[in-house]
Chain A
Amino acid sequence: MSHIHLPDGILPVWLWASGFVVVILIWMILLRIMKKEELTRRLPLLGMMAAVMVLGASVEIVPIAYHVNLTVMSGILLGPSLIFLATFIVNVILALFGHGGITVIGLNTLMFSIEGALGYFLFHLFWRLLRSVSLAGFLATFLALTTSTFSMIGVVSLGTSHYEELIHQEERRGIIGFEFGREKEGHQKEGVPENVVNLKRFIAIILPLGFIGWVLEGVSTALIARYLHHLRPDLLRLDKEGR
């Protein structure tokens, strides 16, 4: 829910292309900052956590089109920089299964990364404040998912004029349209209702479904964090902050 399950060809080119540009830039910066040996040493862990996220995404709760992401859990275990690399890999693999378009990989990576990185920082913040792994896990996940869902809505809303153009495409009888810039205004014909894109209705559908998902994922992250804290507390790296 917190990422875009839009197919290819729906979002305007400038929007998804910007997503790719930002992701490539962040990827290049991270590769420069991180030591090569450190990255090489942690690559198997990154691959494993990415695989856990891929498996999590395959557990679908069909009535509400929701699946757990485990991005926050992975963010807690991998840290804010590695989670970015992991989410990129996850989105490539998910796109290869038609789970979101290939062109929206960049934007989805940004959404997932916001979720993972924010989850990491919030988890540590709430742990310091509450001293409860379960509560910290739940609150961090809930807030991170809320934020990323709103950023997803923001991204979808950026393409409003493009969706309207697509809807009115029928009247224009064009075979191929490919615009790199923002879409031109005033293309509606007479008799065709303007502003047919109803973002409010979209938000009204997404938010209640999302809320169920945030709670479900929050609870499952809390329970997973509790489980890890019992069996392998070293993985959560809370030692420095006191247990």
Chain B
Amino acid sequence: MIQLSYLDYIAVEGKSFFHRLSAKFKIIGMIFILFAIVAVRNLPGLFFLYLFLLCLYFMARIPIRIFPLTLYPLIFAFLFIFLSGFQLFFILLIFLKVLCGSTGVVLLLATTPYPSIFSVLGRVLPSSFVMALFLTYRSVFILLSVLEDTQHALYLRGGVKWRHPWRSLTNISNAFGHLIIKGIDASEKMYESMLLRGFKGEIHYRRE
């Protein structure tokens, strides 16, 4: 999740043709990809879809450092091969569906700034939902900066060492407790500053 800030950075700073496409167009494209993932049930079809997404990924000049994010969901997909009686077709089907979904999503996020996505969603979804999404997104960045400071404190208190599981667990839990308290304080401050800026229950996005 630390990659989130980097992902946001390349979405804003990227200069490829894909970055310049409108968010609406890319979200519609993502819906089509999802439809294909749900509907296509043969390996060649999914394989070609994955190849197509990979081509788009490299054409969009997304740094290779982000690529492992597309492979991350395979960790969980691995559990579901036990469901199939180790049928190769089913395993490949699951893995390709996972890869198509995650590559499509990373492609969308790495080329579209979050506020643009929220702006499109705000046209079709309830404002409270989109506002909660936006505040969560903002809060993740606030917490990431708190987490950076907390990591230093954690290190000074012994950090996380597998040889001392109890101490490590206590340190991690205290760090999360600290994160929660800091987060709640920050959320109160955020609400007060929003009120001062004229917040009346709705956030307005620039339509661009």
A→B interface (CB under 8 Å):
5-10, 13, 27, 31, 36-37, 39-41, 43-52, 54-60, 62, 65, 70, 73, 77, 85-86, 88-90, 92-93, 95-103, 156, 163, 166-167, 169-170, 173-178, 193, 196-199, 201-202, 205-206, 216, 219-224, 227-228, 231-232, 235
Q: Is the CB of B75 within 8 A of A62?
A: yes
- Interchain CA distance A167-B132 in the complex, whole Å: 40
Q: Is the CB of A169 within 8 A of B42?
A: yes
Q: Is the CB of B82 within 8 A of A48?
A: no
Partner of B136, one of A62, A93, A170: A93
Partner of B94, one of A10, A39, A223: A10
B184 touches A (CB below 8 Å): yes
- Interchain CA distance A102-B97 in the complex, whole Å: 12
Partner of B187, one of A36, A45, A173, A220: A45
The dominant DSSP class at the B interface is helix
B102 touches A (CB below 8 Å): yes
B22 touches A (CB below 8 Å): no
Q: Is the CB of A7 within 8 A of B37?
A: yes
Q: Is the CB of A89 within 8 A of B132?
A: yes
- Sample (10) of A-B pairs whose CB atoms are under 8 Å apart: A43-B131, A65-B76, A70-B176, A97-B102, A98-B72, A166-B41, A177-B39, A178-B39, A221-B173, A222-B173
Q: Is the CB of B37 within 8 A of A44?
A: no
Interface size class of B (residues with CB under 8 A): 35 or more
Min CB distance B57 to A, Å, is 13
The dominant DSSP class at the A interface is helix
Q: Which residue of A lies closest to B170 (CB)?
A: A223
Partner of B180, one of A77, A93, A177, A206: A77
Q: Is the CB of B83 within 8 A of A54?
A: no
B70 touches A (CB below 8 Å): yes
B→A interface (CB under 8 Å):
1-2, 34, 37-42, 45, 69-70, 72-73, 75-80, 82-85, 87, 89-90, 93-94, 97-98, 101-102, 105-106, 108-109, 126, 128-129, 131-140, 142-144, 147, 169-170, 172-174, 176-181, 183-184, 186-188, 190-191, 194, 201
Instruction: Find the residue from B70, B134, B140 having the highest chain A CB count within 10 A.
Output: B140
Given the complex, which residues of A lie within 8 Å of B136, measured CB to CB?
A: 46-48, 50-51, 54, 89-90, 93
Min CB distance B147 to A, Å, is 7
Q: Is the CB of A44 within 8 A of B133?
A: no
> Given contacts A6-B80, A52-B183, A220-B173, are A99 and B139 in contact (CB under 8 A)?
no
Min CB distance B92 to A, Å, is 10
- Interchain CA distance A133-B80 in the complex, whole Å: 36
Given the complex, which residues of B lie within 8 Å of A220, measured CB to CB?
A: 169, 172-173, 176
- Interchain CA distance A219-B174 in the complex, whole Å: 12
Min CB distance B36 to A, Å, is 9
Instruction: Find the residue from A40, A41, A59, A60 having the highest chain B CB count within 10 A.
Output: A40
- Interchain CA distance A224-B184 in the complex, whole Å: 14
Q: Is the CB of B177 within 8 A of A166?
A: no
Q: Is the CB of B76 within 8 A of A202?
A: no
- Interchain CA distance A156-B93 in the complex, whole Å: 17
Given the complex, which residues of A lie within 8 Å of B131, measured CB to CB?
A: 43
Given the complex, which residues of A lie within 8 Å of B187, measured CB to CB?
A: 44-45, 47-48
- Interchain CA distance A40-B77 in the complex, whole Å: 38
User: Given contacts A97-B105, A178-B38, A206-B79, could you give 7 more A-B pairs where the C-beta distance is less than 8 Å?
Assistant: A44-B187, A49-B183, A52-B180, A54-B140, A55-B140, A156-B83, A163-B84
